[in-house]
Amino acid sequence: MTLHAGIVGLPNVGKSTLFNAITQAGAEAANYPFCTIDPNVGMVEVPDSRLKKLAEMVHPKKIVSATVEFVDIAGLVRGASKGEGLGNKFLSHIREVDAIVHVVRCFEDENVIHVEGNVNPKRDIETIDLELVLADMESVEKRADRSSKLLKTGDKKTQSEVALLERLKEVFNQGKGARFLTYTDEERAILKGFSLLTLKPVLYVANVSENGLSTAADNPYVQQVMAIAAEEGAEAVVVCAQIEAEIAELEEDEKQGFLQDLGLEESGLDHLIRVAFHLLGLMTFFTAGPIEVKAWTIHQSTKAPQAAGVIHTDFEHGFIRAEVVAYNDFVANNGLNGAKDKGLVRLEGKEYIMRDGDIVHFRFNV
């Protein structure tokens, strides 16, 4: 399972520079609107120090990290929902991702054009949010027209759908997205067929200048972004895309020295990637052996058989039980044998709910 995150924002806010830093994929970054037309796609590993520790203990031939796929989507402009700029193409690309990474410009630079003429994070966020709401409103109204015609049949599912569509139209009329509503399990099942843009979780990225990291807390633009994120219950991080692009080109030992000089424990991108990974309620379990140590991605509350199915469908179909040890117990007792001697290795059945950091050996029969 790989999380697909779409990097969005107005033109010239630093999306492609951030994408280059994340993936080192060399996407073109230039100072003019619509530099990115077709989306660039790059895969990046999720930073996890536990993998390195497990590898030191197990000595595998290969180490495999969990991954996030980032998609650098064309810059949006006012009127995109009506086809302005590259609006229709932009919106179709957003529909395909799991989460939105919304990059917001939080720095002044007269040499970098702003499509609205000046820097104003609140307005910029509202511009994109409104276009997403308008696009969702159009699709919901079309669906509501079709569903209303079916009401005469008395079908309960149709009645539930029409009621949900009315709730959505009401919140859209307030200028808010679908994620601001709460839903029943039945409504969530119906929503899966809607592909709503405003239902996707959002991570705000406040992009500051090269000398703006140390003063980010006092930056009024950053404060605007953080306030909006807090109001929405969304996540927000501060990065300098330009510095992160420079860090990404360094060797690992040079990178650590550079971060120390900046007074940072980790790069902004490492933090961003982790937050993006957890944005959808994902977590990691491990398999560890002489062939490979690997991080596997699952949703929180996943049961053991379904986790086994992430490795191979045969594992889920023929699941017998899971041999499980917590990461901390594995490390504290010098590996699997030491954990077994202490009685810390458990045999779990089909109802076991996986925990983040579980090290697992699945027993199955095909």
Q: Half-sphere exposure of 71 toward its Cβ, with a 13 Å CA cutoff?
A: 21
CB 357 within 8 A of CB 285: yes
pLDDT for position 281 = 86
The token duo for 15 is 């999306």
pLDDT of 80 higher than 70? no
Confidence of residue 194 (pLDDT cuts 50, 70, 90): confident
Helices (H), 151-298: 156-173, 185-191, 220-232, 241-248, 252-262, 268-279
Q: Round to whole Å and give the CA distance between 236 and 206.
A: 7
The tens digit of pLDDT for each residue in 289-312 reads 999 999 999 999 999 999 999 999
Instruction: State percent of the chain over pLDDT 70.
Output: 89
Asked whether the predicted pLDDT for residue 84 surpasses 50, the reply is: no
**Residue 268, annotated as binding a ligand:** no
Per-residue pLDDT at 87 exceeds 50: no
Q: Is the pLDDT confidence value at 237 over 70?
A: yes
Say whether 31 counts as a known binding-site residue.
no
Average pLDDT, the chain: 86
Rg of the Cα atoms in the chain: 23
Question: In sequence order, what E strands does the chain have?
Answer: 3-8, 40-45, 62-64, 67-72, 99-105, 202-207, 235-239, 282-288, 292-299, 319-325, 346-348, 359-364
Would you state the pLDDT for residue 26? 47
Say how far apart CA 79 and CA 158 lie, in whole Å: 32
**Which amino acid is located at 283 in the chain?**
M
- Nearest alpha-carbon partner for 89 in 37, 13, 162: 37
3-state secondary structure of 357: coil
State percent of the chain over pLDDT 90. 50
Q: Which two tokens stand for residue 121?
A: 């994070």
Per-residue buried b or exposed e for 107-122, using 16+ beta carbons within 10 Å of the residue's own CB: beeeeeebbeeebbbe
Can you give the pLDDT at residue 76? 57
Does residue 88 surpass a pLDDT of 90?
no
pLDDT in tens, 19-69: 888 877 444 444 433 344 455 778 888 889 999 999 999 999 999 999 888
Question: SS3 of 325, please?
Answer: strand
Check the annotation: does 2 bind a ligand: no
- What pLDDT sits at residue 336? 94
Judge whether 14 is annotated as a binding position: yes
Tell me the pLDDT tens digit for each residue of 243-255: 988 888 888 788 8
pLDDT tens per residue across span 244-284 = 888 888 887 888 888 888 888 888 888 888 888 888 889 99
Domains of the chain and CATH, by start = 3-279 (3.40.50.300), 301-364 (3.10.20.30)
Q: Which residue has the tokens 């980010």?
A: 216
Report which of 35, 38, 124 is spatially closest to residue 77, judged by C-alpha positions.
124
Handedness of CA 171, 176, 127, 95 (dihedral sign): negative
Q: Tell me the pTM.
A: 0.83
Q: Is position 15 annotated in a ligand binding site?
A: yes
Residues with Cβ within 8 Å of 324's Cβ and at least 6 positions away in sequence, in order, are 304, 345, 346, 347, 348, 352, 358, 359, 360
